[in-house]
Structure 1
Amino acid sequence: MSIPKLESYTLPAVDELPENKVQWVFEPARAALLIHDMQNYFLNFWGSDSPLIRQVVENIARLRAQCKALGIPVFYTAQPNQQSDEDRALLNDMWGPGLNRHPDQQQITDALAADDQDIVLTKWRYSAFHRSDLEQRLQTMGRNQLLITGVYAHIGCLTTATDAFMRNIKPFMVADALADFSREEHLMALTYTAGRSGKVVTTEDLMLLPESKSALRAMILPLLEDDDEPEDDENLIDYGLDSVRMMALAARWRMAHPEIDFVALAKNASVDGWWSLLSGEVKA
């Protein structure tokens, strides 16, 4: 009756992801992040050192850090460690008493612990919207996109995505920031979302900004036509960076920093110059 012992699996690769029926664009000013049920109780079914959970936690942490930097609100769901039979109702029939038997495992995993600015919602059913004010909070904040991460992909995460869709909130299921009972069920959740209720994306799709100067440099080097590598203070245009690629970068980064445009990148066309723009050290 309880959740079974779970085994790690390889996260779906980009070329395995289902084709999206919608082409929604991630808008940081309209988005919120949901970290769904990443409580020790649910993670412990994979054991204490699961490579799957390590990767998922790492990806969620990256997204959370970027959301913090961009002013995107972060929500968590967490079941309480004491739930009456009336509260659990049919969950008892399907899963047994759940956290009631393991109240010491109620906490969200330390690597993703919420801070004072985050909003932790009490979770009562599969959907994060059930018996919570999530919808009202999103409306008040002017947010109509929900980035969904956590466990389990084909149960609470999928139900929340479908519920969001029915409330005119655009769900983005982050394929490599989810975990599930099995790879097959994980892919099933992604396939249903992509074709019926939302958009499937990867962590990298949502990482609008490089996380360090070295990451910025690694992003730029493949775009240069010259085989020689520039120093961080050298002009990238002299190394074959063309205007089309620069415009593409400007369009991506402008979603996070509206003041950054093609002209700003052209005027500061070096690794140092762009890193200063992205980190807010100089104005565009």
Structure 2
Amino acid sequence: MATRDIGALGRLYLARVSGARERLIEFVDTTAPGVAKADKWVLRISTQVGCVIGCRMCDGGIVGWRGNLTAAEIVAQVRRAVRDNPALDARRHPKFKVHFARMGEPTLNDATPRALERLAAEWGGPGLLPAVSTVAPDTPTAAACLEEMRVVKDRLYGGGRFQLQFSVHSTDEAARRRVMRARPWSLERVADFGRRWWRPGDRKVTLNFALSCDQPLDAEAVARTFDAERFLIKIAAVDATRAAEASASARSWRRPPADIAAAAADLRARGFTVILSPSSVEEGTAATLCGQVWSDVLRDEARAGLRAERLERECYVSPDTMPEMSRRWMADISRFKTRGEPLRPGKAGLLVVDLLDYFVDRNSPAYLPQSRAAVAGAVRLLHAFRAAGRPVLFVRHAHRDPARDGGLMAGWWAKVCRDGRPESRVAEALAPRPGETVVRKTRYSAFSNPRLAACLRAAGVEDLVLCGLATNLCVESTARSAFDRGFRTFVAADATVAHDEALHLGALRSLAQGFSRVAPADEFVAALRG
């Protein structure tokens, strides 16, 4: 999509990759400051769209995660950079380093080993040096990927032609957990794997410590856990990325601070090779450093990511807390006598209300983090209705021209969802299947579009289960309208959300008292399964 030349340091790329949703990645063609590219050529490539790890100093994590790249998409970044450097021969280059370190956690993508095989097939000269940086997430996927990479390394990259780096960041396990959202391997597990990884003639495994002020590095703990024959130590500055500034974790330096200098000296005295990696003004300005993003669109997404993280911290419910919260809400509304019969599976239909990217996507200005909890409940309902062969319908609130179709809504709300834009789509986890009805509306009630009632009656729906948002606005308005039109209404307490808990609980009370059977989603799922 775009490139930016950065003088002697090379070129930055912004690329779009395939998929149903907009997916953007960056990769970098560069070299070290003051080193000719003919002597050392470095590519920093992406393995994921965004990143799930969320290290507090990395902009790639706050952009969010939108999926893994295929092996072909990983290798395509290298192929593009090679094509743009016709004066260089990648197969004969003395040092052609391909660093899997721009966006994403390589070990959480099972395509990474296949990409390494393709690199060897296309550019497998003596100078090719793949480098993989990982935090070693404590997941089966990461463990399997690392084991497979070990096999690929032994088969294709012997003789010290592979560099593995564990970004451990501290010898204190609690400090390590502060740095990243994902739980990493313990230092002992990293050491055990590193010993099995290393073969005589291999490069030493790098232990990378990007140290903020609250991340201790204990030389004695390193020596107790790792051996200097197989491991080397890299101590890096924490550059002022957007994420690092927001988390107050930035720690830039050109000369090592006293504590870092002392730790380095202690480690060297214990026999370790120690590399100090200071801040680079040139690389920081050019945005070629690990953890940075350069394109305006991804910087905007990074800003949106920071805002989303703040909203998620303040949110009243999440997918993890929804089960306990919904039990509290059901206890609260138990004072209202449950009216009506239970759900009749043969007459039931599901209506998913306004679970759109406009509210679900972390990059949207209208992002509601509580929508994640509603989506989780809605997915369970969706699977159950589809499995039972019962109708599933979706409603989207989206204006084509707010001045014409907005009515009072356009004046009441500062922002409205516009039809035809990506954010007006139903959230990907709930994507409608071919043949399922999708109704557009421009008012609170879905029945403001007369097509909905006609579709429900044609499908034989008499019992209407509702989920979505907002409980007190479009869900409640739709339930009232359905009730007035003769439909029995059912509302999933744990698959609906509002802007705050008071509004949500107030709406559940109103629904339970006046016109709906309110219950957890699993009650309706059980009824459908018989």
- Bin of the TM-score, shorter chain as denominator length: 0.5 to 0.7
Shift of 1:89: 1.3
135 and 14 in structure 1: CA distance in 2 versus 1, 3 angstrom threshold? same
Amino acid in the other structure paired with 1:186: H
SS across alignment from 2:371: helix
Structure 1 position 138 matched with structure 2 position 456: yes
- Kept in 2, the 8 Å contact 1:32–1:74? The answer is yes
Shift of 1:53: 3.0
SS across alignment from 1:75: strand
Aligned pairs for 1:175-186 (under 5 A) are: 175-186=493-504
Normalized per residue, which structure has more helix? 1
Shift of 1:164: 0.7
Matching residue of 1:238 = none
- Kept in 1, the 8 Å contact 2:467–2:475? The answer is yes
Q: Deviations over 1:141-183 (max 9, x none)?
A: 2211111001111000000011111111011110000111001
Matching residue of 1:190 = 508
Higher RCO (CA 8 Å, separation ≥ 6 residues): 1
Amino acid in the other structure paired with 2:448: H
Q: Deviations over 1:192-231 (max 9, x none)?
A: 00001111011111122xxxxxxxxxxxxxxxxxxxxxxx
Matching residue of 1:24 = 341
Structure 1 position 147 matched with structure 2 position 454: no
Matching residue of 1:262 = none
Matching residue of 1:82 = 400
Amino acid in the other structure paired with 1:178: T
- 1:9 paired residue among 316, 320, 330: 316
Q: Deviations over 1:3-33 (max 9, x none)?
A: xx78421343324321344042111111110
User: Within 1, Cα distance between the matches of 2:414 and 2:420?
Assistant: 12
Larger Rg: 2
User: Within 2, Cα distance between the matches of 1:118 and 1:13?
Assistant: 29
Matching residue of 1:55 = 373
Aligned pairs for 1:124-273 (under 5 A) are: 124-208=442-526, 256=529
User: Within 1, Cα distance between the matches of 2:353 and 2:515?
Assistant: 18
SS across alignment from 1:125: coil
Matching residue of 2:145 = none
54 and 100 in structure 1: CA distance in 2 versus 1, 3 angstrom threshold? closer
Structure 1 position 33 matched with structure 2 position 340: no
Amino acid in the other structure paired with 1:30: K
- Kept in 1, the 8 Å contact 2:359–2:371? The answer is no
Amino acid in the other structure paired with 1:28: P
Matching residue of 1:223 = none
Aligned residues: 206
- Kept in 2, the 8 Å contact 1:148–1:157? The answer is yes
- Kept in 1, the 8 Å contact 2:471–2:504? The answer is yes
**Unmatched 5+ residue regions in structure 1?**
209-251, 258-284
- The percent of aligned pairs where both chains have the same amino acid is 24
User: Within 2, Cα distance between the matches of 1:93 and 1:84?
Assistant: 9
SS across alignment from 2:448: coil
Q: Deviations over 1:128-148 (max 9, x none)?
A: 110231112222222111110
User: Within 2, Cα distance between the matches of 1:101 and 1:63?
Assistant: 26
Matching residue of 1:116 = 434
| Worse-matched range after superposition: 132-141 or 92-101 | 92-101
Shift of 1:96: 3.1
Structure 1 position 69 matched with structure 2 position 387: yes
Matching residue of 2:409 = 91
Root-mean-square deviation (CA), in Å?
2.3
**Unmatched 5+ residue regions in structure 2?**
1-310
Q: Deviations over 1:48-67 (max 9, x none)?
A: 8x3x3333212111110110
User: Within 2, Cα distance between the matches of 1:133 and 1:183?
Assistant: 32
Amino acid in the other structure paired with 1:9: Y
- Kept in 2, the 8 Å contact 1:8–1:46? The answer is no
